[in-house]
Amino acid sequence: MRVHSFSAILFAGVLSLFASVASAQAPVRGGTLTIALPTEPTQLNSAIDTTQQVKIVAGKIFSGLVKYDLNMKLQPDLATSWAVSKDGLKITFNLRKGVKWHDGKPFTSADVAFSVMKAFGQYNGLVRAVFANVERVDTPDANTAVFIMKQPAAAIMNALPVATATILPAHIYDNTDVRQNPANQKPIGTGPFRFVEWQRGSSIVLERNPDYFEKGKPYLDRIVFRVIPDTQSRGAALEAGEVDMIYHSTAAASDARRLGALPNIELTTYGYIFDSTVCFVEVNNEHPILGKAEVRRALAYAIDRKFVLDNIWFGFGTPANTPIHNALKQAAAGAVPQYAYNLAQAEKLLDEAGYKRGADGVRFKLNIDFVPFGDQYSRMAQYVRQQLTQIGVQAEVRNTDFPGWIRRIWTTHDWDLNMSAITNASDPSIGVQRAYWSKNIVPGTPFTNGTHFKNAEVDKLFEQVAVEQNATKRKAQFASLQKILATELPVLPLVSIDQFTLVNKRVQNHSTLADGVYSGYSDVWIKAAK
């Protein structure tokens, strides 16, 4: 099970999870599960759009080839078994027989080949690079799909669950523009729930798929997604019993503990391994002063990560030493340099670097930007500004909206420090490499290497882990990689964030897979009121 250093308060939530597992009642059929959507999706095809609000709906309608449980063990989904050749150049999937699309047409290996080569392999911004390693998909018969690789891709199995590699119906999508296809608004999948209707601006309704391939499942009659854009209203809706679930930390973090302590509400951080996110201070590595590693190390000493975790993230996470989330066990960090909070040390390092305080007590001036989502990042910006002032660095916090922020960081590159976070996705080769690999400095493209960090050793290691088939060797490579990143500090890691779900206790089995709320929910059931 995913190991956490849970804070004491969270402990209660964990206990209640174990309690619900231990009680192990027989699932009951029926009932409606209601989930609050903070943002309305624009369409429902997760093969081409991996935003949270698309994934959580599409994950119930579609299926992937495989699933991962909470121990990161592979489980069958559309594929019942799979085999990777020793050199990693051939992956064979045996597909489930007798599966039908929601429109009654049979599911075959042609759907798999189409989805890999023409859907998520083309248009999925997150995993497209991984599937670019697939040269072709052979379909010797209707129930066998064989990936023929140009070169091995270590992260490919991790990219296969429904949330990122959604298998689409070829008979609907082939020879059409996948992104314009009307089925994106009325999806047809193989998953446990069928699409019923979408009332734009208010709700999306799914109902049980009676022909679902896991016999007797799903248990729920219906899932209703309700669009509630206001954070306070979402919390109130959960409290009033109007919705059963708020996912992906979209209640106010300051309010989450109170809600989680209510007798009928459970708070859990399970089910987000595949969306592991680390927040950090990004540093413009081309800045004349910040370009020096000793200056970046000085700034790291000036920031109390425990303070950030406790007061800005309300304890949801662990202090981070590297940009790789500690939940990704395949890439666990070894011993890395530590920067324990120490203002005197920070000042000493800056003096040594030649940036002494001027007559007015100021060493140099900086701008601080932040990603405009939630209120955590603006608070981080305020906090860092305050800390920097204490060591003689004058900083100004700038406020922009999301498109403006993207332009500033990745296109005009007119910034110094930036409060941000990126998802590590299910593997650092997918989610982390992009931000530090020097060949990925692509002006104009968000979430590429925006710090313009260049390090030949880091480049080489990222290229090695991307193809390494031996898990032990790969782990060692990740360890050396993180040692360099923690020494050079292209970003100052702050917190490995634990995303949380708030859910009514009547809902059972909701966080049993690695992609948690984004999975199909065929096992979820609702306990009748006592």
Partner 1 sequence: MAVNPPGRATGRTRYILRRLGQALAVLVIVVVLQFFLLHLAPGDIADVIAGEVQASDPQFIAKLRADFGLDQSLLVQLGLFAWHILQLDFGNSHAFNVPVIQIIAERLPATLLLMTTAIGSAFVVGSMLGMAAAMKVGRWPDVVISVLALLFYATPAFLAGIALILIFSVHLNWLPMTGMATTWVTHTSWSYFVDVVKHLVMPMTALSLFYVAIYTRLMRASMLEVMNLDYVRTARAKGLRPLRIMWRHMARNAFLPVFTMLGLQVGSLLGGAILIETVFGWPGIGRLAFEGVFRRDVPLVMGILFLSSVLVLSVSLLIDLLYTKLDPRITMR
- Which window, 7-15, 41-49, 150-158, 520-528, contacts partner 1 (CB under 8 A)? 41-49
Q: What residues numbered 343-402 form the site for partner 1, per CB under 8 A?
A: 400-402
The nearer residue to partner 1, 348 or 505, going by C-beta atoms, is 505
What whole-number distance in Å separates Cα of residue 177 and Cα of residue 171?
13
How far are the Cα atoms of 118, 329, 450, 481 from residue 474, in angstroms, in the given order?
30, 11, 26, 10
Choice from 80, 185, 367, 389 touching partner 1 (CB under 8 A)? 185
Any contact of residue 523 with partner 1 (CB under 8 A)? no
d(CA 139, CA 11): 49
The least CB distance from residue 319 to partner 1, in Å, is 23
> For residue 71, with 0-12 CB atoms within 10 Å meaning exposed, 13-18 middle and 19 or more buried, which class applies?
exposed
Strand 491-497 to 501-504 pairing: unpaired
Per DSSP, the three-state class of 253 is helix
Which residues in the 397-426 window bind partner 1 by CB under 8 A?
Answer: 400-408, 411, 422-423
Is 113 a binding residue for partner 1 by CB under 8 A? The answer is no
329 — phi, psi (to 5°)? -65, -25
Shortest distance in whole angstroms from residue 242 CB to partner 1: 6
Q: How far is the CB of 289 from partner 1 (least distance, A)?
A: 26
Secondary structure, 3-state, 70-91? CCCCEEECCEEEEEECCCCCEE
Q: Which of 49, 304, 369, 523 binds partner 1 (CB under 8 A)?
A: 49
Question: Closer to partner 1 at the Cβ: 342 or 445?
Answer: 445
Q: How far is the CA of 345 from the CAs of 155, 289, 386, 491, in angstroms?
A: 40, 18, 17, 19
Residue type, 347: E
Shorter beta-carbon distance to partner 1: residue 79 or 421: 421
The residue (of 383 and 405) whose beta carbon lies closer to partner 1 is 405
Instruction: Tell the smallest beta-carbon distance from residue 2 to partner 1 (Å).
Output: 22
CB of 510 to partner 1, least distance (A): 20
Residue from 13, 20, 33, 50 that binds partner 1 (CB under 8 A)? 50
Q: How far apart are the first and last CA of the chain?
A: 31
Q: Is 13 exposed, middle or buried (0-12, 13-18, 19+ CB in 10 A)?
A: buried
Site membership for partner 1, residue 440 (CB under 8 A): yes
Q: Which listed residue (194, 434, 474, 510) binds partner 1 by CB under 8 A?
A: 434
Find the radius of gyration of the CA atoms of the chain: 24
Contact 188, 101 (CB under 8 A): yes
Site for partner 1 in 191-210 (CB under 8 A): 196-197, 199-203, 205
Stretch that binds partner 1, among 39-47, 72-80, 141-149, 509-517 (CB under 8 A): 39-47
Instruction: Restricting to residues 125-144, name those near partner 1 by CB under 8 A.
Output: 125-126, 128-129
Is 229 in contact with 38 (CB distance < 8 Å)?
Answer: yes
- Least distance from partner 1 to the Cβ atom of residue 330, Å: 20
Residues 19-38, interacting with partner 1 (CB under 8 A): 32
User: Are the C-beta atoms of 311 and 251 separated by less than 8 Å?
Assistant: no
Residue ranges in 210-249 that form contacts with partner 1 under rule CB under 8 A: 222, 224, 226-230, 232-233, 236-237, 239-242
Please identify, using beta-carbon distances, which residue of 301 and 436 lies nearer to partner 1. 436
Name the DSSP letter for residue 277: E
Per-residue x/- marks for partner 1, 82-101, CB under 8 A? Answer: --------------------
Tell me which stretch binds partner 1 (CB under 8 A): 46-54, 68-76, 92-100, 108-116: 46-54
Query: Residue 470 has which token pair?
Result: 């031996």
**Residue 30 Cβ, how far from partner 1 at the closest point, in Å?**
14
CB 226 within 8 Å of CB 234: no
Q: Using CA atoms, how far apart are residues 72 and 64, in angstroms rounded to an integer?
A: 16
Query: Which residue, 41 or 493, has its beta carbon nearer to partner 1?
Result: 41
| Whether residue 218 has a cis bond before it, omega within 30° of 0 | yes
Sign of CA dihedral 205, 210, 211, 215: positive
Q: Which is nearer to partner 1, 140 or 241 (CB)?
A: 241
Residue 438 interacts with partner 1 (CB under 8 A)? no
d(CA 376, CA 279): 10
Are 384 and 413 within 8 A, CB to CB? no
Binding site for partner 1 (CB under 8 A): 32, 39-40, 42-43, 49-51, 123-126, 128-129, 179-180, 184-185, 196-197, 199-203, 205, 222, 224, 226-230, 232-233, 236-237, 239-242, 400-408, 411, 422-423, 431, 434, 440, 442, 444-448
